[in-house]
Amino acid sequence: MIDHLLPLLVAVPLLGSALPLFVAARSRTLARWLTLTVLVGQTALAVVLARVVFATASVSYDVGAIPAPFGIGLFADRVTAALALVVAGGALAALLTDHRHRSGPEYALWLLLVAGLSGVVVTADVFNLYVFLEISGLAAYAMVASARGVDPALAALHYLLVGTVGATLYLLGVGYAFVATGTLAMADLSVALAAAGYDSTLVVTAFVLVAVGLSVKMALFPLHAWKPEAYAAATPAVATVLAALGSTVAGYAFLRIVYDVFTVAFFEAVPAVRTLLLVAATTSVVAGGVLALRARDVRRLLAYSSVSQYGLFGVGLALATPLSVTGALVALVGHAVAKGGLFVAVGSVARTHGVRTVEEYAGLADRAPLTAAVVAVLGVSLIGLPPTVGFAGKWYLALGGIEAGSWAVATVVLASTMLSLAYVGRIVERCYLGRADATPPAGVRADGGLPAPATAPVVVLVGAAALVVALGLGSSALAAWFEPVVEGWL
């Protein structure tokens, strides 16, 4: 089985997605358990993959034993393993916190999403990446719409339109690259692109199209507008899984394409592209922060915060030094955990206490002390204060910026702390120092009782908070995990 580990990572959720469709007709609970089991299996596979790449530097696989350039190759190194674990674990945790009794198709979509995301993570073929990107995208659009209602439907439509445009731009870029080189496998592409000449119009256009397409998926400013709508309209668990995983995998894909396909030599040959990326990323950092300051709905606020955080990731990617790329990876993983945890918390209090806007969060610490404490801890990671993983990411990014001589960039990275403080501080201050209204919350059930907070969200919340601190304290180990890959890239 170890030999076929990589395709299993995709096949298990893909085939597993069919099961709930049949089972749900008999019992929705059984469908839920089935889905959870598949996700547990997926997590186990990811752990095994991590152990395998720890022992051997990387693993490759040709699907159907057809070698490139005709076949589809799969590839896993340490970065892949980390992301695969994040995808599997995140989807599992998010589903655990889901309180809705979903229909069979909805569970199927959940597994399809995981299949698509895992596929993006393990693939070594750029067109295959597009396919899995679209699979995960379609699943995501449908999951947003499954919340039923006008707002979710509109948000899903917006998401679909923008996402499809983005994916199409990516496809165009892949097409141009294919025209320039005649191959779609990442390993062969990197050689062939160099041969085709990095500064040729075709190659540069291919890169720009790919970059814009993936920036749409990552929701960098100004291609971000779909994100706040989608996250605010979706059900809490769907918002959680999308926030934690959707853009994370897109970011990973961007990283992989920049450093494994185009390689750092491309940046050296065409410095204008790198500058453009840096400018776009730093703009995103600032714009996302400013937009978050003005947001009233908490989930929209968190979505804008993601725009800012992915800007930081983009900065690390574009600086192209070992420290900055390490910072980008640490920030990517850390953000996935923190943002996922925050959406679980937000969803939990929205359901139990009916609060959705920052104003309504007044006095939440009295009603939901544990959740408020977790929000505070995860917020500290977003701000970037020690000893959380957010600080570690910022440290590497800023250090990388200074070492690369980009003072402006380093300043923006460090100053973003103050922006994040402003919008996170609003929420935390409201929670602890506000006075709650006397009127009963809107989330009261028809029978008049307040639903009790379930155990699963509590476990996930505490786990997220603990993980954020643990990853921070162990950030050196995390960086060391990524080091061989980063060294290979740069």
Partner 1 sequence: MTDVASPLPLAVVGVPALASVLVLVSRAHPDVREAWTVLASLGTVAVVALLVADDATHVTPLGSLAGVDLALRADAGGLLFALLASTLWVATSLYSVGYVRGLGEVGQTRYFAAFAASIAATMGVALAADLLTLFVFYELLTLATYPLVVHAGDAAARRAGRKYLAYTLGGGVLALTGVLLVQVLADALAFVPGGIAGLSVADPTLARVAFGLLVVGFGVKAAVVPLHAWLPAAMVAPTPVSGLLHAVAVVKSGAFAVYRSVLYVFGPETASDLGVALPLAAVAAATMVLAALVGIRQDNLKRGLAYSTISQLSYIVLGVALLTPLAAFGALLHVVAHAFMKITLFFAAGVIYVETGEKYVSDVAGIGRRLPVTATAFAVGAAGLVGFPLVAGFVSKFHLVAGAAAAPSGVFVAAFLVAGLLKLLYFWPIVYVAFVGRSEGTDPASRHAFAPPHADTRTASGSHVPAVPVAADGSGPHPAVDPGDADSTRDTDRDVAGATGTDSASRWERPRGLETSASLLVPVVFTVGMAVLLGVVPTALPFWELAETAVEEVFG
CB 417 to partner 1: min, Å: 5
Choice from 52, 153, 370, 414 touching partner 1 (CB under 8 A)? 414
Q: Running DSSP on this structure, what letter comes out for residue 123?
A: B
Choice from 410, 460, 468, 486 touching partner 1 (CB under 8 A)? 410
Give CA 170 to chain center in angstroms: 18
SS3 of residue 358 by DSSP: coil
Stretch of 171-179, 252-260, 454-462, 475-483 contacting partner 1, by CB under 8 A: 475-483
Three-state SS letters, 231-244: HHHCCHHHHHHHHH
CB 476 to partner 1: min, Å: 4
Neighbours of 354 (CB within 10 A): 14
CB 451 to partner 1: min, Å: 26
Alpha-carbon span 172 to 213, nearest angstrom: 9
> Considering beta carbons, is residue 304 or 432 the nearer one to partner 1?
432
Pick the closest to residue 30 from 136, 138, 107 (CA basis).
Answer: 107
First to last CA, the chain: 33
CB 422 to partner 1: min, Å: 8
For position 309 contacting partner 1 by CB under 8 A, the verdict is: no
Q: At what angle do helices 298-319 and 226-233 cross, to 10 degrees?
A: 140
Choice from 24, 162, 421, 461 touching partner 1 (CB under 8 A)? 421
For position 163 contacting partner 1 by CB under 8 A, the verdict is: no
Q: Running DSSP on this structure, what letter comes out for residue 149?
A: S
CB 57 to partner 1: min, Å: 21
Residue list 428-447, contact with partner 1 (CB under 8 A):
429, 432-433
> Considering beta carbons, is residue 32 or 426 the nearer one to partner 1?
426
> Considering beta carbons, is residue 216 or 337 the nearer one to partner 1?
337
Give CA 425 to chain center in angstroms: 23
For position 479 contacting partner 1 by CB under 8 A, the verdict is: yes
For position 402 contacting partner 1 by CB under 8 A, the verdict is: yes
> Considering beta carbons, is residue 47 or 422 the nearer one to partner 1?
422
For position 403 contacting partner 1 by CB under 8 A, the verdict is: yes
Q: Residue 430 contacts by C-beta under 8 Å, 6 or more apart in sequence?
A: 358, 359, 361, 362, 363, 364
Applying CB under 8 A, the site for partner 1 has a residue count of 31
> Considering beta carbons, is residue 66 or 415 the nearer one to partner 1?
415
For position 185 contacting partner 1 by CB under 8 A, the verdict is: no
CB 348 to partner 1: min, Å: 21
> Considering beta carbons, is residue 172 or 473 the nearer one to partner 1?
473
For position 313 contacting partner 1 by CB under 8 A, the verdict is: no
Pick the closest to residue 128 from 7, 5, 264, 263 (CA basis).
Answer: 7
Q: Which amino acid is located at 278 in the chain?
A: L
> Considering beta carbons, is residue 269 or 399 the nearer one to partner 1?
399
Binding mask 319-338 for partner 1 (x = CB under 8 A): -----------x--------
> Considering beta carbons, is residue 39 or 424 the nearer one to partner 1?
424
Please, are residues 199 and 269 in contact by the beta-carbon 8 Å criterion?
yes
Q: Where are the beta strands (DSSP E) in 100-232?
A: none
> Considering beta carbons, is residue 15 or 433 the nearer one to partner 1?
433
For position 314 contacting partner 1 by CB under 8 A, the verdict is: no
CB 425 to partner 1: min, Å: 6
Residue list 358-397, contact with partner 1 (CB under 8 A):
380, 383, 385-387, 391-392, 395-396
Please, are residues 152 and 146 in contact by the beta-carbon 8 Å criterion?
yes
- What per-residue string of b and e applies to 161-198 under the rule 16 or more CB within 10 Å gives b? ebbeebbebbbbbbbbbbebbebbbbbbbbebbbebeb
Choice from 52, 470, 473, 490 touching partner 1 (CB under 8 A)? 473
Distances (CA, A) of 108 to 17, 34, 238, 257: 4, 10, 13, 29
Q: Which amino acid is located at 307 in the chain?
A: V
SS3 of residue 71 by DSSP: coil
Choice from 67, 149, 222, 425 touching partner 1 (CB under 8 A)? 425
Distances (CA, A) of 173 to 38, 211, 277, 489: 35, 9, 16, 22
Pick the closest to residue 262 from 196, 319, 314 (CA basis).
Answer: 196
Choice from 42, 371, 406, 417 touching partner 1 (CB under 8 A)? 417
What is the contact surface with partner 1 in residues (CB under 8 A)?
A: 330, 380, 383, 385-387, 391-392, 395-396, 398-399, 402-403, 410-411, 414-415, 417-418, 421, 425, 429, 432-433, 472-476, 479
